[in-house]
Structure 1
Amino acid sequence: MGRQVGDFPLEKLRDYRPALGNKPHDFDAFWTEQKNKLKNERSKVETDLREYPVPSIEVLDIVFSSWDDSPLNGILVKPKYMTECPVIVCFPGYTGSCGLPVDYLKWVSLGFAVYSFDVRGQGSSPDYGKYQNGSRIPGWMLLGIYDPENYYFTNVYRDILMQIKWIRSEDSPITPTKMGVMGSSQGGGLAT
C-alpha cells in the first residue's frame, strides 16, 4: 500500500487529471490569435559578456526588447566554449528578478545553460504596457484584468513566447539541444 496524500493514494495521484471547468470558451482561439500576431515580430536583443570569476562559466547580460519594446533584463549562464547544450529557462517569483549567475551554477556544472529574464515591471525591467482597466488593489496581477487583450499577464505571456522564439533562433548565443523550464510561485505558473 502506497503513502496516503490528501484524499487519494499516491498511485492514483500520479494519474489524476482534474477537470478544467473555468476555461473560457474562446481561450484557445484567443491564444492562437496572440501567437499569430507575434509570428513575424523580431526581438531586438543586446548581449554583453560579463567578467566572471569562475573560469569554466560564461555569463552574458541581456537586454531583450519585447514585442512592445519593453526592455527586459536577463542573463544567460552557460558552460564556457559550449555552443550547443540543453537549456533551462528559469522564471522568477512574483516581484523577483532574473537572479545572479551563482543561482544557476549547479545547472551549468551539469552541462546546462540557463536563461532567466526579469518579468516586465518586476526586477529591474520596466513595463511599457498600457492598462486602461486596473484595480484599486496595488500590484501587477490585476492590471487591465477586464480587457484580456491588454491584461498584464497577457503581456507577460507574449514576452515569454517571444523569448522562447529567440532562444530557439539562430540569433541566440547558444543552440538548445533540449529545453526545459522551471520556476517557483509566479515563476512556476509562468513555466506551465
Structure 2
Amino acid sequence: MGTVGCNSSAAESSSEASEGWSGTPPADPAVLGERCDEWVSCAGDAFCDYGSASGWPSCGEKGICVAFPEACDEIDLPLCGCDGVLYDNACEAAAAGVGTQGAAGCTAPAGRFACGFEFCESGTAFCEHVIGHGQPESWDCRALACTGDLEGCACITDPSPCGDPHYFPGQFCSGVANGGTELTCLPA
C-alpha cells in the first residue's frame, strides 16, 4: 500500500516499538520516526501513521510519526480514514493528517465493493482472498476475464486464479455486497 509520502517507516533500536510503552509515555510530542499512539501525539510537522507500525492499515494502535506529504498523485484507490471519512487514496488521508483503515469502517463508494483493505470496481474486478502457506493473508483486486454475458463467479475459469491446485485445492467463490465477487483460495 505505498503511495507517495504516506508509508514512511523508521526502525528503533529499542524493543519497545513492537511491545508498547514500558512505564509512563513521554510528555512531549513524538518527532518523525518515533512511536505514537492515542496517548502520544506527533509534533506539528508529522502525523501518526498507524499502518507504518503494523504493516496493515489500522486505527487506534501504535503508529510511527511520518511527515505530511508535499503533494499527492491522482490515484483512484479509495480508503477509509481513521476518522470514518472516505478518502480518494492513502496520500489524501495523510495530507489531512489521518491514518487509514483500508475498506473497514466506511460504506463502499458507488460502483465498488470491499476487498480486504481496499475497494474493487464492481463488474470489472473480483476480490482474490488468499490464505496460507506461511504467507500473510492477502486480498487483491484482480481483473475479471469475462466474455459474453458471464458475470461474477462464472468469469473466474480454469486455470484457477488460485494457482496450482496441488497447493490450493480449496477455492470458494461467492457474491458479496454491491455486486462484487470474492474468490477465496485455501491451502492444502
TM range (shorter): under 0.3
Structure with the largest fraction of helix: 1
After TM superposition, the score normalised by the length of structure 1 is 0.21
Greater relative contact order (CA < 8 Å, ≥ 6 in sequence): 1
